Structure 1
Amino acid sequence: MAHIDLGMDETLFPGITGLMKFRPETAKPLNALAEALLRAPNSLPAGERELIAAYVSALNECRFCRDSHSAFAAAQLDEGMTLVHQVRADLDTAPVSEKLRALLRIAAAVQQSGRAVTTDLVDRARAQGATDVEVHDTVLIAAAFCMFNRYVDGLGTFAPDGTDGYAVSARRIVAHGYTDSV
């Protein structure tokens, strides 16, 4: 049970979804941010941006965000959940492009501290073809998910076990986005 009374069955509205129903006035800008970062036109495919969110959420040990965004990434990546699990298990050996690997390393640095992002990390990403917009968006996705993870876990919300329970949400997010999903 969440640390506060959300006034609903948390199993029907797990994680951030229950919090957004509880406070729709804060849900609107948070969903708009997620939409802009994860779905708006961008040179990074939506599946890769969701993978960044899932990776940071895994590093933060936020079960709800890790599993939901893993499902959202898998639904948009040709390699599906297999690739998501490979990235989460071992970034160094995961079969991703060197550009994405460099961006995920930047995301991991942000998860530790914004100051952990070094010129060397950014230069490595650029050397692999990352643009300034992609570096910017990676840092902002990672920073935003640190906030989302702490929001979800800080209020002790319910999280279903495993990624299977997120398949319906993944289809809804892929089809309709974040601003129409709550």
Structure 2
Amino acid sequence: MTPIRHNQSDTDAVLDAARDCVLAVGVRRTTLTDVARRAGVSRMTLYRRWPDVRTLVGDLMTREWIALAVGAMPDIDAGTPTRTRLVDGLVAGVNAFRAHPLFHKIIDVDPELLLPYVLDRRGASQDALLGLITGALAEGHADGSVRAMHPGLQARSLLLVVQSFTLSLRTMTEEADPELTERSFLGELRTLLERTLTP
């Protein structure tokens, strides 16, 4: 095994290995030894950077969730108001989160891993998402398509809304009722976001 240097490709290789382990057996049954073996690095190399599996999985979630959120945001189009791009991106982001295999595995097997970020404190991925939302809100304030207000309050309120739809939607849907399907709720989310952001 070769020592891992702290460049992005090496970090991604370890995070990829961690993702594969978590998808296979869940967080509680994943060990740093498993990850090191899968990544082809020494266990001590991992311990120097990640003291335990939860720290490593926290970095994995941050990478996955940020990439997902950035990918959900539509490209800038001169003919499209920022509000439309932001609403489209937030709804697409909720949909993408709920379809992500890592998110599914954590919700199904290790949901307690998410509780600190829901009840006690913000995580790195939530702070990064707030940064993305705040940037889009500033653009929307500038072009007049988004209701002007304190950007921090507005961004955090939006994140609370989309976070609740992401984490709790399956507790509210009834696929046998056409008015209570996941698709219907995502349509309602779009309406809520449009109405709260429209000047």
TM-score (norm 2): 0.25
Structure showing greater radius of gyration is: 2
TM-score (norm 1): 0.27
Higher helix fraction (1 or 2): 2
Whose RCO is larger (CA < 8 A, sep 6+)?
A: 1
